[in-house]
Amino acid sequence: MTHAASDLHRSAPAGVRALFFSAGALFATWGVHIPTVKAHYGVGEQALGMAMLATGLGACVGLTQAGRVIARFGPRRVLFVGGAAGAVAIAALLLGQDFAWVLALLFAFGLVSSSFDVAMNVVANDIEQQAGRPLMSGFHGLFSAGGLVGAGLGAVALRAGMAAEHHLWASALACWALAAWGAHRMARGVAPAGGDARFQWGHGPLVLLGVLSALGLLCEGAMYDWSVLYVRDGLKVDQGSAAWAYASFSGAMAAGRFGGDWVRARLPAPRLLRASALLAAFGMTAALLATNLWLALAGFALVGLGLANVVPLLFVAAAQVPGVAPAAGIAFVSAMGYFGMMGGPALIGFVAQTATLSVALAQVVGFALVLAVASRRALAAQSASR
């Protein structure tokens, strides 16, 4: 093995793991403080839905330019600057007096986070190809682990009486420091393959994979953005206890992803996707019917376990669509999934405003069932190749 290759395998994976972990922890910081933002600005679920939509719109704008930005400035600079800008956007959420401040910050957060996410996944895919073995599930597991740690520390800090403003800044700065370290480590020996950097729309089978990616990450985003508020208001517990809803979901998802490559080697992809989606639907139903905190936490954990390998399965399938370059397929499905994760929770907010949050979250059950029904058709090529 050459010196450069050796450096790639030793240094770059550690850096990418740090990047995924920091991204998950920063998302968790926002998720834990959604009730804080709601109380600080005196808004309802519809306004929170608009805030999440602002994040999704920023992400959509960012995704159309992410390839060009990364090609021009390189992944290291995009990850370093994007990590810093995203951290500041989350840290400053409580500094304004008007809710327009939150909308602007979350639009900016979506804008920079989308490029950060694309750069991170492009490099992760490059490392997996260099290594010649499955690694993507483990990388995504670090995102979930970051969410678990971020939510857990947030719950501890709030229970201990730490001011919300102080926790936001401390957590955001820690996430940025970790991202900066990860970008520095990742940059050694990693140069993702070039090609057409323009955003390209999918077609044919790729569209179905993209839609399913959007649905899967919509469900995931709903848990990140609404689980804490649902448990706090629906089960009448304090915010510190409610934060464990996010932690239980993230922890189970991390466990499912860390074991994902082992499971993928033993089950056909369509069967695994179908079973995963049905488990997520069952867990969400259990959480919505729960009458105490512990049952709700168990339900959210099952949702996390069920959704854990949806994205890795769809990414692998996107790389095998006939007539489509693997990088182009992954990029399109990733973009669709990112839109679902960022824009989907806004839909939950709008439905919650007109009905209830329980009714709105019941949509997660429906979306998971769609994933289960479409699993065989979406992953037909992989099924035939086994």
Q: What is the mean pLDDT of residues 12-38?
A: 89
Least confident of 12-26, 73-87, 239-253, 304-318: 239-253
* pLDDT band of 325, cuts 50, 70, 90: low
With cut-offs at 50, 70 and 90, classify the pLDDT of residue 7: very low
What is the value of pTM for the model shown? 0.74
Amino acid 72: pLDDT? 80
The CATH topology of domain 10-190+200-385 is: Growth Hormone; Chain: A; (1.20.1250)
Give the mean pLDDT of the chain. Answer: 83
Give, in order, the Cα–Cα distances in Å from 52 to each of 65, 131, 253, 344: 20, 37, 22, 8
pLDDT value for 365: 95
Q: What is the pLDDT of residue 381?
A: 56
Residue boundaries of the structural domains of the chain: 10-190+200-385
Of 9-18, 173-182, 228-237, 288-297, the least confident:
9-18
- In this predicted structure, the answer to whether residue 8 has a pLDDT above a threshold of 60 is no
Q: Which two tokens stand for residue 350?
A: 């709008």
Confidence at residue 4, expressed as pLDDT on a 0 to 100 scale: 42
Q: For 194, how many CA atoms within 13 A lie in the half-sphere containing its CB?
A: 4
Predicted confidence (pLDDT) per residue in 332-374, tens digit = 887 788 778 767 777 888 888 888 888 999 999 999 999 999 9
Q: Which of 320, 185, 297, 307 is nearest to 254 (CA)?
A: 307
- pLDDT tens string 176-223: 999 999 988 865 444 444 444 455 566 678 889 999 999 999 998 888
Nearest-angstrom CA–CA distance, 368 and 362 = 10
To the nearest whole percent, how much of the chain has pLDDT over 90?
Answer: 34
